[in-house]
Chains A and B, each alone.
Chain A
Amino acid sequence: MISLRDISKKFPNGFTAVDNISLEIEPGELVVLIGSSGCGKTTTLKMINRLIEPSAGQIFINGEDVLQGDPIELRRNIGYVIQEIGLFPHMTIAENIALVPQLKKWSKAKINKRVNELLELVGLDPAVSAKKFPHELSGGQRQRVGVVRALAVDPPIMLMDEPFGALDPITREQLQDEFLKLQATVKKTIVFVTHDMDEALKLADRIVVMHQGRILQCARPREILRNPANDFVRDFVGADHTLKQLSLIKVREAMQTDISTLYADESIAAAREKFAQGYRSMVVIDRRGIVKGYVNKVHLNEVREGPVSQIMRTRFSSIGPDKSLKEALTLMIQRDAGYIAVIDERGTLLGVVSTNSLHQLVGEPYLEVEGEVEGIEIS
Chain B
Amino acid sequence: MKFLKYMALHYDKIGHLLLQHVRVTVISLVLAAIIGIPLGILITKNEKAAKIVLYVAGIIQTVPSIALFGFLIPVLGIGLKPAVVALVLYGQLPIIRNVYTGIKTISPAQMESARGMGMTGFQILRRIQIPEAFPVILGGIRTAAVALVGIAAIASIVGAGGLGDLIFEGISSVNSTVVLAGAIPAALLALAIDYVLGVLERSLNPMPTMKK
Q: How many A-B residue pairs have CB under 8 A?
A: 70
Nearest Cβ in chain B — how far from A216, in angstroms? 27
Contact A76 B109 (CB under 8 A): no
Which residue of the partner chain, among A72, A77, A88, contacts B120 with CB atoms under 8 Å? A72
Q: Is the CB of B118 within 8 A of A75?
A: yes
Residue contact B116 to A135, C-beta cutoff 8 Å: no
Contact assessment for B120 and A84 in the assembled complex, using a CB-CB cutoff below 8 Å? no
Measured between beta carbons, the chain A residues less than 8 angstroms from B196 are none
Distance (whole angstroms) from the CB of A105 to the closest CB of chain B: 12
Q: Is B85 among interface residues, defined by CB-CB distance under 8 A? A: no
Complex contacts, B113 vs chain A, CB 8 Å: 80, 82, 85-87, 146
Rounded to whole Å, the gap between the CB of B38 and the closest CB of chain A is 21
Complex CA–CA separation, A100 to B123 (angstroms): 11
Question: Known interface pairs A82-B109, A90-B131, A103-B123. Does A133 touch B118 (Cβ–Cβ under 8 Å)?
Answer: no
**Residue among A51, A77, A99, A150 with the highest chain B CB neighbour number at 10 A:** A99
| B116 and A75 contact, CB distance less than 8 A | yes
The number of chain A residues with a CB under 8 A from chain B is: 28
Among B107-156, those with CB < 8 Å from A are 107, 109-120, 123, 127-128, 131-132, 134
A45 to chain B, nearest CB (A): 10
A76 x B118 contact (CB < 8 A) = yes
Say which residue of A77, A88, A103, A136 sits within 8 Å of B132 (CB atoms): A88
Which chain A residue has the least Cβ–Cβ distance from B110?
A: A86
B116→A51 contact, CB < 8 A: yes
Check if B15 is an interface residue, CB within 8 A of chain A: no
User: A82-B109, A133-B207, A133-B210 known; A88 and B116 CB under 8 Å?
Assistant: no
Contact with B along A62-94 (1 / 0, CB 8 A): 000000000011111100101011111111000
Inter-chain CA distance A138–B101, complex, in Å, is: 28
A51 to B114, CA, bound (A): 11
- Does A86 contact B114, Cβ atoms closer than 8 Å? yes
Asked if A49 is an interface residue, CB under 8 A from chain B, the answer is: yes
Give the CA-CA distance A103 to B120 in the complex, in Å: 10
Q: How far apart are B6's CB and chain A's nearest CB, in angstroms?
A: 49
- Interfacial chain B residues near A133, Cβ < 8 Å: 207, 209-210
Residues of B161-212 whose CB lies within 8 A of A: 206-207, 209-210
CB neighbours (8 Å) of B109 from chain A are 82, 84-86
CB-CB under 8 A from A136, the residues of chain B are: 209
Give me the interface of A with B, judged by CB distance under 8 Å.
49, 51, 72-77, 80, 82, 84-91, 99-100, 103, 133, 135-136, 146, 149-150, 159
Between-chain CB contacts (< 8 Å), 16 pairs: A72-B119, A75-B116, A76-B117, A76-B118, A80-B116, A85-B113, A86-B111, A90-B131, A90-B207, A100-B118, A103-B117, A103-B119, A103-B123, A133-B209, A133-B210, A136-B209
